[in-house]
Amino acid sequence: MSQKTPLHAHHLAAGARMVEFAGWELPVHYGSQLEEHRRVRREHGMFDVSHMRVIDVQGSGASALLRRVLANTVDKLRQAGDGLYSCMLNPDGGVLDDLIAFRIEEEDYRLIVNAGTAEQDIDWLSRQRAALPDAHPTLSPRRDLGMIAVQGPCAREAVWRALPGSLFATERLNRFQAAEFEDMTICRTGYTGEDGFELIVPGSRMTAVWEALSSAGVLPAGLGARDTLRLEAGMNLYGADMDASTHPYESNLGWTVDLTAGRDFVGRNALESCDRSKRLTGLILEGRGVLRHGMPVTTAQGDGLITSGSFSPTLNASIALARLPSAVSPGATVSITIRDLAQPARVTPLPFVRNGKILV
């Protein structure tokens, strides 16, 4: 049976179409996915992302454990509230999960991981902790917490209206920083390519916060808009654009790998000698149809594969992320077979859209 978030009744009352996603029953849209997408690009929208899982890593050896399991390094987190995006790798360099890590204080961290990999992540962290005899941090899955993402160019101002006093706590936050406000954590992060906040909220307070945002004029958006927004922003979806069989460099995530001398981490040896003959890049369909996950791509330099694809409301065209031979240059024309017809597509750098601006 699918799990339900504390806001499940609100979604039903708002007329949401519900779907199963990663073991959760979540809203895919509230009537118009297209309008929800456009509203976030031009103003703001809010998403129930309580399926994302929070894991607290605390106590002696917490830093040592995260230095071991993350391809990026928590040594970059200099002060309370600093965060970073990273992949957690297997020994072959494959991506077990992508996550955000925040420093709460010394030897106290909070991880935000994907719903579909959360239990595997906890097990992997436990096993890696056992390999560090002098590290004994606690791993605490926080099932008492939910998450609301408020995204868009006017999103922060909407949060400040909805939550009086939050302006003082959060107005100086940079991207990938977080601050405590009352009983919640407000993070300047998101999965849409727009500015905004992600609020980590006690489950018992989710309804009150959601209603306060609604009273401030923020309308809900579903998983459908979240997916097209993140695709336009060139952001990977775990299980589609990368997984345990792909490494960061072929998933456009080489920027998340820190190979600072002297720091060992699981998967480092594999990454230092990995095959980089393919990479993740963008496609814009110039023919007819819609690009979809799993479609093969034919190029002059060899075959590739679409990992994510959909219609882009902002570009008014079908776009995709595709893993292609690294020798394929931006601007090149490639071929995708759609309904037995070869259709041309143009290779483009990522992202397609950020902060409301078309970049291709």
Instruction: For residues 195 and 293, give the distance between their C-alpha atoms in angstroms, rounded to a whole number.
Output: 27
Which pLDDT does position 261 carry in this prediction? 80
Phi and psi at 357, nearest 5°, equal -105, 135
CA torsion 42-46-47-50 (nearest 10°) is 150
Query: Distance (Å, rounded) from C-alpha 25 to C-alpha 241?
Result: 23
Q: What's the gap between Cα 220 and its chain centre?
A: 19
How many C-beta neighbours within 10 Å does residue 125 have? 21
pLDDT, tens digit, for every residue of 173-199?
999 999 999 999 999 999 999 999 999
Terminal Cα-to-Cα distance of the chain (whole angstroms): 43
Per-residue pLDDT of 154-177, as tens digits, reads 999 999 999 999 999 999 999 999
Domains, the chain, in order of start with CATH, read 3-49+143-232 (3.30.1360.120), 277-358 (2.40.30.110)
Residues of the chain with pLDDT under 50: none
Hey, what amino acid is at 303?
D
CA distance 284 to 296: 15
Note if the bond before 351 is cis, omega within 30 degrees: yes
Q: Read off the DSSP letter of residue 328.
A: P
The confidence score (pLDDT) of residue 69 equals 98
Q: What is the pLDDT of residue 1?
A: 79
Amino acid at position 210, single letter:
W
